[in-house]
A and B are shown apart, each in its own frame.
Chain A
Amino acid sequence: MSLQDRPIFQHLWAYAILAVLIVFVLFPLVFTFSQSLMTNQEVNRWPPPLVPREATLANYQQLFTQPDLKLDIWLRNSLFAAAAYTTAVILICSPAAYAFARLRFPGNNLLFGLLLVTIMIPSQVTLIPNFLLMRDLKFLDTFHALIWPGAANVFGVFLLRQFFQQIPAELEEAAILDGASYWGRFWHVILPLSTNALTALGIFVFLGHYNDLLWPFITTSSLEMRTLPVGLQVLNSSYAGQYRPLVLSGAVFATVPIVLVYIIFQRRIIKGVTLTGMGGR
């Protein structure tokens, strides 16, 4: 066996690509974490130090004592709003998807066509009208504004409809013989068989909401109602100039929960993302 034929050498190019990409991905994260443990003086130095001379948690302490920063509340707001929004999307979209996938009714094609048309329209078109509606309903600066406007998620209906259609009809027929109602068939037969699709949609919708910046920025105003992405913008605009490591520690603080969740559920998340991606084609 020559050197060239050994598997490790045969795929050397693959390892090379992956090594470069791993450094590309990890270096900014590790560097940010490392510099978040430095003093203000040490960070503003040339060449940029990679490892703190003396690691300090002072920046993290500052993060929670500055009166204009409320990272714990922002994180809580983000998690709560995203969770409530995800629940709303699943409860509202899954019955609609079941009707489109399994039930015969006049106007089926017409209504589904309407959804198809709107998926081409970028959501920013609805930004101004929905903002004005929130204002008129006195929903500005409340969780209502963060939860309801996006609850009719067209993509969610598409994905679930496609998944429901693949479930064999025989499984539902058993329930029909038992005299189950339409709701019973949906709730006790179809939904339990769709946990994969529901989790996938849930992850997708949750992350999308958790990452949103513009909508929470315009609909919230008080320090106590900001979400994490909005709060990080506040942190950056007030401290980037004179206190960089504080900004970096804020970035790390916002990263840790999501990375922890990711490490625990990575298999499910990756499978889910692939499923939603394929569902979107």
Chain B
Amino acid sequence: MSNTTGTIPTSRVTGQATSRFQLRMRTREALAAYLFLTPFFAFFLIFVVRAVVQAVSMSLYDWQILRPGQVYVGLGNYQELMNDYVWWISVKNTLVFMLITVTGTTVVALAAAVAVTQPIKGQGFFRVVLYMPTLLSVGVVSLIWVWLLSSQYGIINYFLSFVGIRPVNWLGDESLVIPALSLTTIWWGFGFPMLIFIAGIQGIPDTLYEAARIDGANSRQLFWYITLPLLRPTLLFVTVTGVISHFQVFGQPFIMTVGGPGRGSYTVIYYLYEIAWRAFRMGYGSAVAVSLAVIVASFTAIQFRLIGRRVEY
């Protein structure tokens, strides 16, 4: 401050004043920061922090919504969960759904992105149309596909009849219902990873491709030796977000199959919904929710370790 005014060299007294002035500025800045943060943290504390803490504590109670007093059961809910075969069916279904959907989505999205970034005509058109299903709500998507997959009048079965396949009961067969829901979800969701892959591919320097072409590489070699290795961080992002979001599948089984046939399309969230809002067992439901959180968090951690290490090449 004293330098800019260009007066007498700083004495001890003004030095103290300067530091006190700076201190005051610091305090003001911190005060402003806290004011800026207050609205967000008010909501964050109420709806996230409090809710998570309450979910964990509720999972230790036999907490039933229609009963006034709640009974502490310690880890009883978790013990029950470990022996609950419907929970394990739901976990298995969710894992299978997630694996098929993430793999399918990633492959389709990558193929679409590589094709669309070639120097071809109509790039913009292809990109816009292929992203369209992603904008639809899960309600619309479910209503459309439940009819396409119908065993009696379904158009998919009609197409399959051309190649001699007899009518398939997609949504009524326990071994087919999860793949059928995955197919629906791949159609719905590949647009987002496609856009991410497109951005990733466009970030790869052209010089790499030119150099490889001079060395006589063909399109397939360019993909395997340049595009794919350099897309590894993007691939990590797409699979991690895919695993997390598809593990939380609810709408498709809820609308298309109501968890059926039998418990063939029970997923973790579907089971959570049924325990908490059909059986009103909020304590047991909280144990399901907390277990879900542990599973999702460990998936993320494992995936980051696996692919994350290989990203540095």
| A128 & B282 in contact (Cβ 8 Å cutoff) | yes
Give the chain A neighbours of B244 by CB distance below 8 A: 122
| A278 & B138 in contact (Cβ 8 Å cutoff) | no
Looking at the assembled complex, report how far the CB atom of A119 sits from the nearest CB atom of chain B, in whole angstroms. Answer: 10
| Main SS class of interface, A | helix
| A104 & B37 in contact (Cβ 8 Å cutoff) | no
Expressed in whole angstroms, the Cα–Cα distance for A11 and B272 within the complex equals: 49
| A259 & B137 in contact (Cβ 8 Å cutoff) | no
| Main SS class of interface, B | helix
Looking at the assembled complex, report how far the CB atom of A51 sits from the nearest CB atom of chain B, in whole angstroms. Answer: 13
Cβ of B128 within 8 Å of any chain A Cβ, yes or no, is yes
Give the chain A neighbours of B29 by CB distance below 8 A: 103-105, 182
Specify which of B32, B136, B296 is in contact with A182 (CB 8 Å cutoff). B32
Cβ of A167 within 8 Å of any chain B Cβ, yes or no, is no
Minimum CB distance partner of A235 in chain B = B143
Cβ of A64 within 8 Å of any chain B Cβ, yes or no, is no
If A48-B153, A214-B251 touch, whether A105 touches B48 (CB-CB below 8 Å) is no
From A43, A45, A96, A280, residue with most partner B Cβ within 10 Å = A96
Give the chain B neighbours of A31 by CB distance below 8 A: 148, 155
Give the chain A neighbours of B155 by CB distance below 8 A: 31, 48
If A111-B37, A122-B244 touch, whether A152 touches B292 (CB-CB below 8 Å) is no
If A129-B50, A210-B137, A262-B132 touch, whether A21 touches B33 (CB-CB below 8 Å) is no
Interface size on B, residues (CB 8 A): 93
Interface string of A120-153 (1 = CB under 8 A from B): 1111111111111100000000000000111110
Cβ of A175 within 8 Å of any chain B Cβ, yes or no, is no
Cβ of B254 within 8 Å of any chain A Cβ, yes or no, is yes
Name 15 A/B residue pairs within 8 A (Cβ), A-sorted: A14-B114, A24-B187, A25-B129, A25-B130, A28-B145, A28-B148, A99-B36, A105-B29, A127-B272, A129-B50, A152-B48, A211-B137, A214-B254, A232-B139, A248-B143
> A-side interface residues toward B, CB under 8 Å?
7, 11, 13-15, 17-18, 21-22, 24-26, 28-29, 31-32, 35, 43-48, 91-93, 95-96, 98-100, 103-106, 108, 111, 114-115, 118, 120-133, 148-152, 154, 157, 181-183, 186, 207, 210-211, 213-214, 218, 228-233, 235-237, 240, 244, 247-248, 250-251, 254-255, 258-259, 262, 266, 269-270, 273-274, 277-278, 280-281
Known contacts A104-B29, A127-B272, A128-B55; 16 additional CB pairs below 8 A are: A15-B120, A32-B143, A32-B144, A93-B40, A96-B39, A104-B30, A105-B29, A105-B34, A128-B286, A129-B58, A148-B47, A154-B48, A213-B251, A236-B143, A255-B136, A273-B195
> B-side interface residues toward A, CB under 8 Å?
26, 29-30, 32-34, 36-37, 39-41, 43-44, 46-52, 54-55, 58, 65, 108, 111-112, 114-116, 118-120, 126-133, 135-140, 142-148, 152-155, 158, 187, 192, 195-196, 198-199, 219, 233-234, 237, 241, 244, 247-248, 250-251, 254-255, 258, 269, 272-273, 276-277, 282, 285-286, 289-290, 292-293, 296-297, 300
